[in-house]
Amino acid sequence: DTEVTQTPKHLVMGMTNKKSLKCEQHMGHRAMYWYKQKAKKPPELMFVYSYEKLSINESVPSRFSPECPNSSLLNLHLHALQPEDSALYLCASSHPARADRHQPQHFGDGTRLSIL
Amino acid sequence: AQTVTQSQPEMSVQEAETVTLSCTYDTSESDYYLFWYKQPPSRQMILVIRQEAYKQQNATENRFSVNFQKAAKSFSLKISDSQLGDAAMYFCAYRSAGVMGTSGSRLTFGEGTQLTVNP
């Protein structure tokens, strides 16, 4: 069983739709991450939240809008996506403290997103 | 910036045999962490093993062990007694010990090695 839960597992949407991806963890982690992963490629970091504040935005287009409502929840709001945005979106969490830097990031199962 | 290189896009091994996956990295930092993640077709990234750069002793987790050569910036993964369930994409990853919100937040991944286990 994964400790980081992502919903939905699969999402198909048109380019004009608005949808959201959800990620939840109950491990007490205060750092949460969104990654985008294309087939047979490594994950690419998109956003990092630390203590519910956005700490890193890797120059992601504004059609992706992250939100961290509380320490357990991370959302990714999607609007006007392009076909090239079709990918696996992974959420991860970890402890942000320097002393815990040796601790790994824990990943969810991902949301497979297809843009029509 | 750090880079991680996995020079073997694909590897195969016979069940019960041993296989070694290669990983090299480039960094100017002295304090960092290295990880091997496994991603089966089920998609979840699963931690296999980790190594702190300041530790000279190679990490071991059951059938998985690493050969960490800090001076050579090499971090290979050895899988002993390979099982069918070991078939997956394996990613080597680097994480700085730096400040959160900067380099310390990032995992830098290699391109991955697809491991096939033959029965």
pLDDT in tens, B41-89: 878 899 999 999 998 899 999 999 999 999 999 999 999 999 999 999 9
Q: What is the DSSP letter of A3?
A: S
Average per-residue pLDDT in chain B? 92
Please give the pLDDT value at position A102: 73
**Which of the four pLDDT bands, split at 50, 70 and 90, describes residue A2?**
low
Average pLDDT on B98-115 reads 79
End-to-end CA distance of chain B: 41
Residue B30 has pLDDT above 90, yes or no: no
Residue A113 has pLDDT above 70, yes or no: yes
Please give the pLDDT value at position B41: 87
Selection from A47, A113, A99 nearest residue A74 by Cα = A47
Q: Give yes or no for a contact between A111 and A88, defined as CB atoms under 8 angstroms apart.
A: yes
**Which of the four pLDDT bands, split at 50, 70 and 90, describes residue B1?**
confident
> Which residues of chain A make contact with B8, given a CB cutoff of 8 A?
none
Selection from A77, A109, A93, A102 nearest residue A13 by Cα = A77
**Which of the four pLDDT bands, split at 50, 70 and 90, describes residue A95?**
confident
Please give the pLDDT value at position A99: 67
Q: What is the DSSP letter of A109?
A: -
Q: Give yes or no for a contact between B51 and B75, defined as CB atoms under 8 angstroms apart.
A: yes
Do the chains contact at A45 and B100, CB–CB below 8 Å? Answer: no
Residue B103 has pLDDT above 60, yes or no: no
Lowest mean pLDDT among A63-72, B36-45, B108-117: B36-45
Residue A67 has pLDDT above 70, yes or no: yes
Residues on A contacting B at a C-beta cutoff of 8 Å: 2, 31, 33, 40-43, 45, 48, 50, 55-56, 88, 90, 92, 96-98, 101-102, 104-110, 112
Do the chains contact at A40 and B50, CB–CB below 8 Å? Answer: no
**Which of the four pLDDT bands, split at 50, 70 and 90, describes residue B104?**
low
Between A and B, how many residue pairs show a Cβ–Cβ distance under 8 A? 66
**Which of the four pLDDT bands, split at 50, 70 and 90, describes residue B26?**
very high
Do the chains contact at B104 and A101, CB–CB below 8 Å? Answer: yes
Please give the pLDDT value at position B97: 79
Number of H helices, E strands in chain B: 0, 12
Q: Give the gap in angstroms from C-alpha A2 to the nearest C-alpha of chain B.
A: 8
In whole angstroms, what is the distance from residue A58 CA to residue A51 CA? 18
CA angle, residues A63, A76, A114, in degrees to nearest 5 = 70
**Which of the four pLDDT bands, split at 50, 70 and 90, describes residue B101?**
low
Average pLDDT on B24-34 reads 92
The better pLDDT of the pair B104, A91 is held by A91
**Which of the four pLDDT bands, split at 50, 70 and 90, describes residue B99?**
low
Q: Give yes or no for a contact between B79 and B86, defined as CB atoms under 8 angstroms apart.
A: yes
Average pLDDT on A72-97 reads 93
Do the chains contact at A40 and B114, CB–CB below 8 Å? Answer: yes
Do the chains contact at A102 and B35, CB–CB below 8 Å? Answer: no
In whole angstroms, what is the distance from residue A71 CA to residue B16 CA? 43
